[in-house]
Amino acid sequence: MKKELLMASALVSTLGVAATANAVTSSMSGHQNIGVKGSSLESGSADTTSVVENAAFSVSLSETTDGGTKIATGFMLANESVNAGTNTGAITLTFTDGSKLDVFNAGSAAASHDIAVPSGAGEQGVTVTTSNSASTSLDFMGGSTELGVEWHSASDFLMDGLKIGASFSTDSGAAKGASTKIEGHWGLGATYVTTAGDSTVTVGAGLADTSYGDTGSQPSSEENGMHVGISVVTGDLTIAAGYANGDDIRYESTDTDREVSQEVSKVGLTYVTGDITMKVGFASGTAQDDTVGTAGTTDDSVESTSASVAYAVASGVTATLGYVDVDSQDEGASETSGGSSWYLGANLAF
């Protein structure tokens, strides 16, 4: 309780006294994807073809105090209740020196500084069996609660091209039953941008640690880990690679949570020529998992190879052809949930 009161006091004192206003400044954005997806699985089941349609609509709100501090947040239009489960926006305070502070739903500073490694664009995808815990995400570690803050430094912090961040969150108060619950989190991240000849080089890294509580078995390894990545942009060509290693707690249901030791490697490239954007990516993840309190001993793995070609048809309208091939192994043995998938469709965004 003391932690929560201190956090609330810090927010109120930081906001200060703003001038009276009738309404904050607002903006809207969104997109609609619609197309056709085909899948061919290794299980031998019949190939499938289906229409894929999804949309997003969000609202951003912001205003600046007389002292120069910008206060901003946002929400999805469908999210009419702040506790509906789809609201992920923090209150963001942007100060006159360029630094920022996210309050509530802040997330992890480690995730904020990962390198975006290109992969095939589109709605294609293959879902591997749920018992396979391997991931192809660089941010699998560092879970946090909504009771948290994340600080972002201004650009060129201490030296040209450097930006850093730190995050912290505490227990949400959820009852700890047989299912594990987060008790606390901290994260650190850094991004460094420099030039080498005609190329712009960006290096990102993050470190995170999350502690858990459980009335039953305690995890033998709690959630923690690191990631590092590099991106090189030369003209219209971008090449990037990333690596992550650490431990994770995978939520399933009461008494079936898993503790997972993971390793992820990714590499990809993007090339832009005129109105055409081409992407190619490869990701590989390995994991050992078992019930909470027991370390895994055999490997799960996922390998994903993807590619796409996108064409800008008109302002805000893009046509995309994408493909992915996924190979999956569960507990050291090949399994049949892998396969390939393609997508052809359009994206309209505003």
The predicted-structure confidence for 10-20, as pLDDT tens digits, reads as follows 444 444 444 44
Confidence of residue 176 (pLDDT cuts 50, 70, 90): low
Over range 216-238, report the average pLDDT.
Answer: 86
In the CATH scheme, what is the code of domain 2-349?
A: 2.40.160.10
The pLDDT of residue 131 is 75
3-state secondary structure the chain: CHHHHHHHHHHHHHHCCCCCCCCCEEEEEEEEEEEEEEEEECCCCCCEEEEEEEEEEEEEEEEECCCCCEEEEEEECCCCCCCCCCCCCCEEEECCCCCEEEECCCCCHHHHCCCCCCCCCCCCCCCCCCCCCCCCCCCCCCCCCCCEEEEECCCCCCCCCEEEEEEEEECCCCCCCCCCEEEEEEEEEEEEEEEECCEEEEEEEEEEEEEEECCCCCCCCCEEEEEEEEEEEECCEEEEEEEEEEEEEECCCCCCCEEEEEEEEEEEEEEEECCEEEEEEEEEEEEEEEECCCCCCCEEEEEEEEEEEEEEEECCEEEEEEEEEEEEEECCEECCCCEEEEEEEEEEEC
pLDDT the model gives residue 217: 63
Residue 30 in this model has a pLDDT that exceeds 70: yes
Confidence bin at 143 (pLDDT 50/70/90): confident
